[in-house]
Amino acid sequence: MTDQPAIEATGLEKSYGGVKVLAGVDLRVARGSVFALLGPNGAGKTTTVRILSTLVRADAGRARVAGFDVERDRRLVRRNISLTGQFASVDDLQTGAENLRMMGRLSGLSRAQARRRADDLLVQFDLTTVGRRRVATYSGGTRRRLDLATSLVGNPQVIFLDEPTTGLDPHARQGMWHVIAGLVTSGVTVFLTTQYLEEADRLADRVAVVDGGRVVAEGSPAELKTRFADQRLDLTLADPAAFEAACTLLGRRAVRCDRDHLTLAVATDGSAAHVRALLDEVDPHRRAVRRFALHDATLDDVFLALTGHAATASEKETAGV
């Protein structure tokens, strides 16, 4: 890893139709790392990726990717990056090997070089057994692995992954996590946007949370959890009346409220004194709380603390934002 960052952005601003989507985004991504950008719907994640990958121009600010200015050196930036969107973009009518060879030829490789590169990537992404089959016969997880393999044909320094595991089942998602982790060991820098907070927690060296067009927090997953959430006390209430009373009492301090299961969660420093104080506050007569459990905070707790609501399965970026 060198001192020069793989990605550096300062003061990025962007508006669409009078709506300010980015209001001064600053980012710095170390080479050979995984960087995750999180944020609620419309926070500006996809716009940030589009600016950094030269697909749109910022209204203000500067950015460098792989050592090149995204405005002055757009062609050089594009030669050194790859962008993989939310949906696989491979050709269903060709085999996996044919897709890879075609991408190699489009990247300027000779026929022999393209074939060698395709064979190497089939091995790297565990696709040798399906490489001669048409992509139309692939499962969703296998298609995503092939899509990621095609994005690496040109040996990019930086790869942008925009929600790469959307729509995959848990087993396929785990497989993709293994592949993405392997990319970093080969020296590639990964810039990841994701709706799965567990994904960022598992993969990212650093995480930035963007909200309202600004970066509101940045750090390693462990740092963010310690700084903004620390511990979480989960309470199961005895009945609906007790649940409603506890939610009203705690107000915004309740980081989760699940009426269906009569459960809520509240942040705590984890000390016995603070846990006792919370239990006494919520249940002074020892009848309202049926059981409780203390947990380490998750990135979901951080997300809620910073943006005001929990991330959901539909927490996706809207088009153009």
Mean per-residue pLDDT of the chain? 85
- CATH (domain of 239): 3.30.70
Last residue of a domain, one of 219, 252, 287: 219
**Statement to judge: residues 47 and 93 lie in one domain:** yes
What residues make up the domain containing 186?
7-219
Q: Which residue has the higher pLDDT, 61 or 109?
A: 61
Last residue of a domain, one of 158, 192, 219: 219
Q: Which of 215-219, 265-269, 311-315 has the lowest mean pLDDT?
A: 311-315
**Measuring CA to CA, which residue among 119, 176, 120, 169 is closest to residue 144?**
176
Last residue of a domain, one of 190, 219, 248: 219
User: What is the pLDDT, as a whole number, of residue 248?
Assistant: 92
Q: What backbone phi and psi angles, to 5 degrees, belong to 102?
A: -60, -45
SS3 content of the chain, % helix, strand, coil (to 5): 35, 25, 35
Question: Residue 321 domain-assigned?
Answer: no
User: What is the pLDDT, as a whole number, of residue 195?
Assistant: 72
Pairing of the two strands 19-29 and 7-16? antiparallel
User: What is the pLDDT, as a whole number, of residue 22?
Assistant: 94
Query: Can you tell me whether residue 33 is helix, strand or coil?
Result: coil
If you average pLDDT over residues 256-281, what whole number do you get?
A: 90
Residue 317: which pLDDT band, with cuts at 50, 70 and 90? very low
Cα–Cα dist 100/201, whole Å: 31
Question: Residue 132 domain-assigned?
Answer: yes
Question: Residue 312 domain-assigned?
Answer: no
51-64, pLDDT tens digit by residue?
Answer: 999 999 999 999 99
**Statement to judge: residues 199 and 235 lie in one domain:** no
At residue 285, does pLDDT exceed 60? Answer: yes
**Statement to judge: residues 175 and 60 lie in one domain:** yes
**Statement to judge: residues 91 and 133 lie in one domain:** yes
**Statement to judge: residues 134 and 38 lie in one domain:** yes
**Measuring CA to CA, which residue among 198, 216, 98 is closest to residue 153?**
98
The pair of structure tokens assigned to 129 is: 């057994």
Cα–Cα dist 143/95, whole Å: 11
- CATH (domain of 45): 3.40.50.300
Q: Which residue has the higher pLDDT, 163 or 249?
A: 249
At residue 21, does pLDDT exceed 60? Answer: yes
Cα–Cα dist 120/148, whole Å: 14
Question: Residue 153 domain-assigned?
Answer: yes
Question: Residue 319 domain-assigned?
Answer: no
Cα–Cα dist 107/141, whole Å: 25
**Statement to judge: residues 278 and 255 lie in one domain:** yes
Q: Which residues contact 80 (CB under 8 A, 6 or more apart)?
A: 65, 66, 67, 68, 156, 157, 158
**Statement to judge: residues 160 and 297 lie in one domain:** no
State how far the alpha carbon of 320 is from the alpha carbons of 44, 51, 316, in Å.
Answer: 9, 11, 12
At residue 6, does pLDDT exceed 60? Answer: yes
Say how many domains are in the chain: 2
Question: Residue 2 domain-assigned?
Answer: no
Q: Which residue has the higher pLDDT, 289 or 217?
A: 289
